[in-house]
A and B are shown apart, each in its own frame.
Chain A
Amino acid sequence: MNIVKSLVLLALVWVGMVQAADPLVVSHGADRAIPIAVVPFGWQGGAMLPEDMAEVVGNDLRNSGYFEPIPRQNMLSMPTTAEGVFYRDWKALGAQYVLVGNVNPDGGRLSINYALFNVATEQQMLTGNVAGTQQQLRDMAHYISDQAFLKMTGIKGAFSTRLLYVTAENLATNNTRYTLQRADYDGARAVTLLQSREPILSPSFAADGKRIAYVSFEQKRPRIFIQHIDTGRREQVTNFEGLNGAPAFSPDGSRLAFVLSRDGNPEIYVMNLATRQLARVTNHFAIDTEPFWGADGQTIYFTSDRAGKPQIYRTNVNGGGAERVTFIGNYNANPKLSADGKTMVMVHRQDGYKVFQIAAFDLQTSRLKVLSQTTLDESPTVAPNGTMLTYATRQQGRGVLMLVSTNGRVRIPLPTAQGDVREPSWSPYLQ
């Protein structure tokens, strides 16, 4: 499993390097997304299902950058159970895997049987059942995607995860409606968690997936709040003069790092959420902001312009000296680490350029790979398994969210609500 992961990571880095030189050259081994047939699911009930399950699963697998679903119109047969799978039909199409599913009404609920086959070895790799309500069809589809993805790649799927993001709708001059949304990772099923006439920014999840922290200007000043997603209960965490910003939960969820300027300029602080005790982490007259915790719960990565331009630094949470991490580029900010701690994504501006893009920085090799191609890209956030990334950019004057696979094969805009969309933040794995 670890070997597979390292190989995948190696392949990703390699693809990135080659792409930077020449987009037509691709890497060995994984030079193409693997063709998979996700056959339309059978439905043994009455009216049509409100979700096209195979489409949701196929999109999931495509979004990972690992797989390419075979178009339906090319399929020679459309089996819904194992008995109907004839390998020659799929060999003829070049499919490496076939996934079938069948939905059955089950006393007011829905029960789905699914199975995954390896076409080359003619073996059934996976079979399973998942049940739920009609409202949970997408959850069940993402669940099936997670199971299949793990079986085929050895990597835990992240298709059942969620995104937080902020929208701003300009209703009139000096009248903007801001909302905090939570949606499926693919942008579907957005739910409003908070609505305000004042700005909302910097939402992020705790590792338990149950609490979120964000900055709200509802008191006409920036203040940090924690909200419990299930109950909607909110607590105000800070009420200090000046900036109160950029909250980030520690990996164990017991502490919150954030920025305060109460001592005259922006510094990073950590609050113990049980005791509300506050400890100052940085001490510099420059701007220190955007803290992000290392997986060890000891290291804090942050943005500072102490060398003149924003760059990424790291420091121990107990203070002490800060070490500069980035040297390539004249603007590096908003660091987010992958779950394995090896890759840092950030907002990056190349030397001599004025555009802001998303870059991945390998903390071991210091190799940098630009992942986005537009000019006002910001707020990168990584899926917990590191295969996908979402960021905010602008299209035709409107803020939109883009989802890209880390290997660069997939780049799609996420369907989102009206208005200006920004500040995506990926959840951890959820229960």
Chain B
Amino acid sequence: MEMTKFGKLAALGLALAIAAGCSSKGGDSAGEGAVDPNAGYGANTSGVDGNLAAEEAALRAITTFYFEYDSADLKPEAMRALDVHAKDLKGNGARVVLEGHADERGTREYNMALGERRASAVQRYLVLQGVSPAQLELVSYGEERPLVLGSSEESWAQNRRVELRK
């Protein structure tokens, strides 16, 4: 009985959390943000002590970081990969371009600004990890260079991104 009750409460709490998550995105469609192209990358390799180098290599291979709709908040998966890139950049002093992108919804110039805001978020994170701002150039392409064509939640999720380019 007690367990069932707890289970129900937990389910209710989860539902509320999901609802709150949705409404905080300004009433956009349910399902937005449900697609996370970064999810899974590197996540399964964590905690395997003997394979740190492999994990780092896997994270280093991630150079595209995805965002929620109308958001420039970095996802935890992106931060893990950026930690590795920050370490590399501090070591080699290389210059990279952070290319910000948006999905096709909304106006083109607003999306240019949104793409830049995303690239800035990545830049700020890297600078916090000790990378020199001089190594990082921001360029926003807005919605002008979609990675995937099409007007679906899946393609939009792929297009809301920052690409780190050497």
Contact = CB atoms under 8 A, between A and B. Distances in A.
Interface stretch (A17-25, A51-59, A61-69, A238-246): A238-246
A397 B109 contact: no
Interface bin, chain B: 20 to 34
B114 interface: yes
A364 to B, nearest CB: 25
Contacts of A201: 108-109, 112, 142, 144
Interface stretch (B4-12, B34-42, B84-92, B133-141): B133-141
B105 to A, nearest CB: 6
B51 interface: no
Contacts of B139: 220-222
A60 interface: no
B109 A246 contact: yes
Interface string A341-357: 00000010001101010
B112 A347 contact: no
Contacts of B28: 354
B109 A245 contact: yes
Contact of B140 (A176, A243, A303): A243
Contacts of A351: 27
B145 A334 contact: no
B113 interface: yes
Contact of B105 (A199, A289, A356): A356
Given A201-B142, A264-B120, 10 more contacts: A199-B141, A201-B112, A245-B113, A265-B117, A266-B113, A266-B116, A289-B110, A290-B107, A378-B106, A394-B151
Interface of A: 168, 170, 176, 199, 201-202, 217, 220-222, 242-243, 245-246, 259, 261, 264-266, 287, 289-290, 303, 305, 308-310, 330-331, 333-334, 347, 351-352, 354, 356, 376, 378-379, 394, 397, 422-423
13 contacts: A168-B144, A201-B112, A202-B109, A222-B140, A243-B113, A246-B109, A261-B113, A287-B117, A310-B106, A330-B26, A376-B105, A378-B107, A397-B151
